[in-house]
Amino acid sequence: MSETKNNGFADSQSINALKMHGEKIIYAVLLVLAAFFGWQYYQKHYAKVDTVAADKYTVISDRNDQIVLAAANGAQDEATKKLIAEEETKLFADIDALVAEHGDTAYAWQALMIKARHQTDNDDLAGAVTTLSQATAIDTGDEGLAAITKIRYARAMLANNDIDGATAVANETMPEAFEPSRQELLGDIAVAKNDTESAKKAYLAAWDLLKARQENRAVLSLKLQALGVIVDPIEVPTPIVNQPTQQAAEVQGEQDVAEPAQAVADASAETQTTQTGN
């Protein structure tokens, strides 16, 4: 009899405990289930989206490589030029589709960089400005990529004679690693304004920063020479094999931004202008 009473008392305690804590237990179970099914949904939907975006970008990258290879083959007949133009049209259509469907991904950013490069090579500067403007709106979560985009965007605007727009972007905050490129850009803007002293100041600021980290940039040296400033060459240390660093990646990013061939051509033109007085 006593045992029955004890069992009844224990059952009563359990019921009271359930009444007091049952709601919390249910919430805990629901949270676990929500997390589980949320993860399942992410895996089935968003992970699949990332895979689709990656596949679409692979097609874009392959087509771009083929176009670049065809364009690099020297003299081209009309049939080849027409074929390249047709392939570029398809490339742009693929890029636009990727951006429309997966515009918040790094793949869209990469695709827009490719499109802007082709537009610049084709002297479609207004198109390049529009494309790079799209790229600046993509949040890749990487300050370095954001800086690369800003610098390219500003250079495109400068080439398209939008000096005020280029100046506004060049004055935005960027990571310290990109300060040499930002200063060089400010120097280019000053040259466009015929402000020689400001150009020298910006170029020299960039040169000093590069010298401090032992990175030579021949194009910048040419720009300084065009303004009558001779600087000592920067001695670059022998690279250590198989030891990539973050700084090396940032330097490569800046070099990609610099557009060496065009910059050399611009510097040469500036030198000729200075020498002839025209």
Question: Which helix H or strand E contains 250, and what residues bound it?
Answer: helix 246-258
Q: What is the mean pLDDT of the chain?
A: 79
Q: What is the pLDDT of residue 202?
A: 98
Question: Which helix H or strand E contains 144, and what residues bound it?
Answer: helix 143-159
Q: What is the share, in percent, of the chain residues with pLDDT greater than 70? A: 67
Q: What is the pLDDT of residue 256?
A: 41
Q: What is the pLDDT of residue 242?
A: 54
Contact between residue 113 and residue 125 where contact means Cβ atoms under 8 Å apart: no
What is the mean predicted confidence (pLDDT) over 61-68?
94
> What number of other Cβ atoms are within 10 A of residue 152's Cβ?
25
What is the mean predicted confidence (pLDDT) over 196-208?
97
Query: Is residue 210 exposed (0-12), middle (13-18) or buried (19+ Cβ within 10 Å)?
Result: buried
Contact between residue 70 and residue 105 where contact means Cβ atoms under 8 Å apart: no
> What number of other Cβ atoms are within 10 A of residue 124's Cβ?
16
Distance of CA 50 to the CA centre of its chain: 18
What is the mean predicted confidence (pLDDT) over 189-196?
97
For residue 257, pLDDT over 50 is answered with no
pTM, two decimal places: 0.70
Contact between residue 188 and residue 158 where contact means Cβ atoms under 8 Å apart: yes
Contact between residue 207 and residue 220 where contact means Cβ atoms under 8 Å apart: yes
Question: Which helix H or strand E contains 15, and what residues bound it?
Answer: helix 2-44
pLDDT tens digits, one per residue of 79-105: 888 999 999 999 999 999 999 999 989
What is the Cα–Cα distance from 84 to 72, expressed in whole angstroms? Answer: 11
pLDDT tens digits, one per residue of 126-168: 999 999 999 999 998 899 999 999 999 999 999 999 999 999 9
Distance of CA 226 to the CA centre of its chain: 30
Query: Is residue 112 exposed (0-12), middle (13-18) or buried (19+ Cβ within 10 Å)?
Result: buried
